[in-house]
Structure 1
Amino acid sequence: MPELSLGADAAAVNALRSAVMRLSRRIKHQRVDESLSPTEMSVLGTLARCGTATPGELARKEHVQPPSMTRIVAMLEAKGLVRLEPHPDDRRQKVVMQTEQAEEMLEESRRKRNVWLAELASGLDEDEWEALRAAAPVLEKLAHL
């Protein structure tokens, strides 16, 4: 892998950061349920990707303090989006799992965001669209490093 020098690539890194941040903010506004915070949506997304988790595991994955996660889980439970079940191995703990209502809401949210992004991308020419298709796996890799 080539080592990037921020000096030589500072403009490209700055442009990439700025574009990704702006696009991310715009995508986040394409929500189905406006009553959920971005953090609550993120927790639901994590549960959808990773399956059940303890509140402590969710706190680590979401980079929040455990007491904050306890409050988030309680709010999501009150809205019927998650449920707490006994931990299969440790009776002192609970595991958090999303409900069918959460799955449906996340699917509708994905659909809405995909439609919005497709409409936005329809303004690109074929070369731009091809470059974007080629960049998607690279951006995905960066998101998970």
Structure 2
Amino acid sequence: MLSAPASAAVAAELRTALGKLTRRVKLEDQMPLGQASVLGALDRAGAMTPSEPAAEQRVRPQSVARAVGLLMEQGLITRRAHPTDGRKSLVELSSAGQALLEEERGRRADWLARAIGAELTGDERPQGGHARSRSCP
């Protein structure tokens, strides 16, 4: 087990590395982040009102409304009446939206695998897998 200072140092290094990785992945994205976030939320939670992804992501409802409109124009989500509240509607992934989301996730995973192969040494690769299996149940 690591001491508190050693754990803090590892945490700081991990935060920095994850921040760099996140920025690099965003550069590779082909879909705007707001739209990808809405598709991901709908994939995880299923049909929801347009305001629910905004609350989940802690962004303004207007931002999500804009993304929802663009996604609907592209046929990636559909809108239907709310079953219990006639004032509301639900949005959900269309089959095209699900396919695009899976394609985007696969593309990101491929990019990350290539980056790992290019950036990590032969000695570092097994350590990453070993550390992950020890620390993540």
Q: TM-score range by the shorter chain?
A: 0.7 to 0.9
Q: Do structure 1's residue 52 and structure 2's residue 50 form an aligned pair?
A: no
The change in CA–CA distance for 1:8 and 1:115 in structure 2 (over 3 A counts) is: closer
Correspondent of 2:71 among 57, 70, 76:
76
Ranges in structure 2 where 5+ consecutive residues have no aligned partner: none
Other-structure match for 2:128 = 132
- Does the Cα contact within 8 Å between 1:47 and 1:53 map onto a contact in 2? yes
Shifted more, 48-57 versus 123-132: the winner is 123-132
Correspondent of 1:62 among 52, 57, 65:
57
User: Where in structure 2 are the equivalents of 1:1-145 lying within 5 Å?
Assistant: 9-31=7-29, 34=30, 36-123=31-118, 124-125=120-121, 127-136=123-132
TM-score (ref. length: structure 1): 0.77
TM-score (ref. length: structure 2): 0.81
State the percentage of identical aligned residues: 34
The change in CA–CA distance for 1:45 and 1:20 in structure 2 (over 3 A counts) is: same
Provide the rounded CA distance (Å) in 1 between the counterparts of 2:134 and 2:85. 39
Ranges in structure 1 where 5+ consecutive residues have no aligned partner: none
Provide the rounded CA distance (Å) in 1 between the counterparts of 2:95 and 2:104. 14
Three-state SS of the structure 2 residue aligned to 1:29 is helix
- Does the Cα contact within 8 Å between 1:30 and 1:109 map onto a contact in 2? no
1:95 Cα deviation after fit: 0.5
The change in CA–CA distance for 1:20 and 1:64 in structure 2 (over 3 A counts) is: same
Task: Count how many residue pairs are aligned between Structure 1 and Structure 2.
Answer: 135
1:21 Cα deviation after fit: 0.7
1:96 Cα deviation after fit: 0.8
